[in-house]
Amino acid sequence: MNEIPDGAIETIMEYADPLPSPLTIVGFESMGGAISDVAPTATAYPHRDAAYSFGIWSGWTDPDATTN
């Protein structure tokens, strides 16, 4: 992502609020700095020109909730 569009936070919160696990994290990571100093072809991660990364990380404690 190169910018966070107007309304993005509200939309993300609307959909993230009902997530079933309290161990779920939704967030933006600021890119740039040393991350963008590496050539895009130098590693398996080529998106080094983006200003932000958006991620959803989920976890749970019930082993029966795990699917493969």
Question: Tell me: the pLDDT tens digits for 41-54?
Answer: 999 988 888 888 88
C-alpha–C-alpha distance, residues 19 and 38, integer Å: 35
Q: Where are the alpha helices (DSSP H) in 1-68?
A: 8-16
* Residues of the domain holding 16: 8-65
Residue 42 lies in a domain: yes
Question: Which own/partner contact pairs does 4-9 have at CB distance under 8 Å and 24+ positions apart?
Answer: 4/28, 4/52
Counting Cβ atoms within 10 Å, is residue 29 exposed (0-12), middle (13-18) or buried (19+)? exposed
- Does the pTM surpass 0.85? The reply is no
Provide the pLDDT confidence category of residue 68 given band limits of 50, 70 and 90. low
Q: Does a structural domain hold residue 2?
A: no
- As for how many domains the chain has, the answer is 1
Q: Shortest CA distance to 57 belongs to which of 18, 22, 10, 33?
A: 22
Query: Tell me: the pLDDT tens digits for 3-61?
Result: 888 888 889 888 888 777 888 888 888 888 888 888 989 999 888 888 888 888 888 88
